[in-house]
């Protein structure tokens, strides 16, 4: 059975972080994600991965420091959780979740953001339900908050009211909000800017640079979110192929 490795400031330069391993065009974003993670380690972020060359990892952090508009006192929050390809269906997701549960000893519970049905860059809600999580809150258009209580009679976490309506303050054209919590965002935001201009759209790009901004975002997913005329469109990272599917005049 493959070893589970915990990343830290001491080894992150030498270890891969699973995403975008061989995607050379996202190299700058890959390094930016490592730098972002290094900053989160000071707030209790944990990054654990299977010792393989693939996307098999989990990130979690005390919810008070999570980059998400969620109210979950005394909880641990899963930031990103990905098991892909040949590593799916072999119990690796359960193994990584058990690491999170073990590290959450003494906390009220564990929270995770998902969706009504499986969406890109969001964990499958069926997995959370199967592992004993409860659906405790929703936000437009399809976001869900799942909660695994670790103590009895603790209050349910909630999305902040601001994040429940799927609208942002920028009403003119496209607005894309992103952080370096994902290695893909930097490259594809620039690509989206070029595509939007070519297709006659105004576009505003906003980098979420700190926890306060993230905790007051307009939708629960803060890594990457696209709005059209103020209304949330998708958290799917848009390239030429997907632009016309999600963005229309």
Give pLDDT tens digits for 114-156: 999 999 899 999 999 999 999 999 999 999 999 999 999 999 9
Reported as a pLDDT band with limits 50, 70 and 90, residue 202 is very high
Q: What does the alpha-carbon distance between residue 111 and residue 124 come to, in Å, rounded to a whole number?
A: 14
Average the pLDDT over each of 15-24, 55-64, 128-137, 141-150 and give the range with the smallest value.
Answer: 15-24
State whether 151 and 40 are in the same domain. yes
Which own/partner pairs from 150-153 qualify as long-range (CB within 8 Å, at least 24 positions apart)?
150/101, 150/104, 150/105, 150/107, 150/108, 150/109, 150/110, 151/107, 151/108, 151/109
Reported as a pLDDT band with limits 50, 70 and 90, residue 180 is very high
State whether 145 and 182 are in the same domain. no
Q: Is the pLDDT of residue 84 over 90?
A: no
Reported as a pLDDT band with limits 50, 70 and 90, residue 55 is confident
Domain closes at, from 118, 142, 160: 160
Average the pLDDT over each of 53-57, 105-109, 191-195, 214-218 and give the range with the smallest value.
Answer: 53-57
Domain closes at, from 140, 160, 180: 160
State whether 139 and 241 are in the same domain. no
State whether 118 and 35 are in the same domain. yes
State whether 156 and 170 are in the same domain. no
State whether 167 and 155 are in the same domain. no
Determine whether 30 is exposed, middle or buried from the number of CB atoms within 10 Å of its CB (0-12, 13-18, 19+). buried
Domain closes at, from 125, 160, 195: 160
pTM for the structure as a whole: 0.95
Q: Is the pLDDT of residue 23 over 80?
A: no
State whether 79 and 118 are in the same domain. yes
- Domain CATH number, residue 23: 3.40.630.30
pLDDT, position 82: 92
How high does pLDDT run on average in the chain? 94
State whether 36 and 135 are in the same domain. yes
State whether 193 and 102 are in the same domain. no
- Domain CATH number, residue 197: 3.40.30
Reported as a pLDDT band with limits 50, 70 and 90, residue 49 is very high
Question: Which range has highest mean pLDDT (23-37, 47-61, 150-164)?
Answer: 150-164
Number of domains in the chain: 2
State whether 30 and 48 are in the same domain. yes
Percentage of the chain modeled with pLDDT above 70 = 98
Average the pLDDT over each of 19-28, 49-58, 118-127, 231-240 and give the range with the smallest value.
Answer: 19-28
pLDDT, position 24: 75
Range of the domain at 196: 163-246
pLDDT, position 2: 86
State whether 134 and 16 are in the same domain. yes
State whether 132 and 26 are in the same domain. yes
Q: Is the pLDDT of residue 158 over 70?
A: yes
């Amino acid at each position: 059975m493959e070893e589970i490795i915990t990343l830290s400031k001491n080894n992150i330069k030498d270890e891969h972080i699973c995403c975008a391993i061989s995607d050379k065009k996202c190299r700058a974003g890959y390094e930016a994600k490592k730098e972002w993670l290094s900053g989160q380690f000071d707030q209790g972020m944990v990054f654990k991965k299977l010792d393989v060359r693939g996307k098999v990892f989990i990130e979690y952090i005390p919810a008070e420091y999570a980059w998400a508009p969620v109210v979950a006192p005394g909880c641990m929050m899963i930031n990103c959780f990905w098991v892909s390809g040949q590593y799916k269906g072999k119990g690796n997701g359960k193994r990584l979740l058990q690491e999170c549960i073990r590290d959450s000893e003494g906390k009220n519970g564990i929270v995770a953001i998902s969706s009504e049905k499986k969406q890109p860059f969001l964990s499958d809600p069926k997995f959370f339900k199967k592992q004993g999580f409860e659906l405790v809150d929703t936000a437009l258009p399809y976001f869900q908050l799942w909660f695994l209580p670790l103590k009895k009679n603790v209050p349910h976490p909630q999305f902040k009211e601001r994040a429940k309506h799927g609208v942002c303050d920028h009403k003119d054209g496209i607005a894309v909000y992103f952080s370096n919590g994902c290695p893909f965002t930097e490259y594809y935001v620039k690509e989206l800017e070029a595509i939007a201009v070519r297709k006659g759209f105004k576009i505003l790009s906003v980098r979420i640079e700190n926890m306060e901004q993230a905790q007051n975002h307009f939708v629960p997913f803060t890594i990457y979110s696209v709005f059209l005329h103020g209304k949330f469109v998708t958290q799917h990272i848009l390239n030429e192929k997907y632009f016309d599917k999600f963005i229309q005049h």
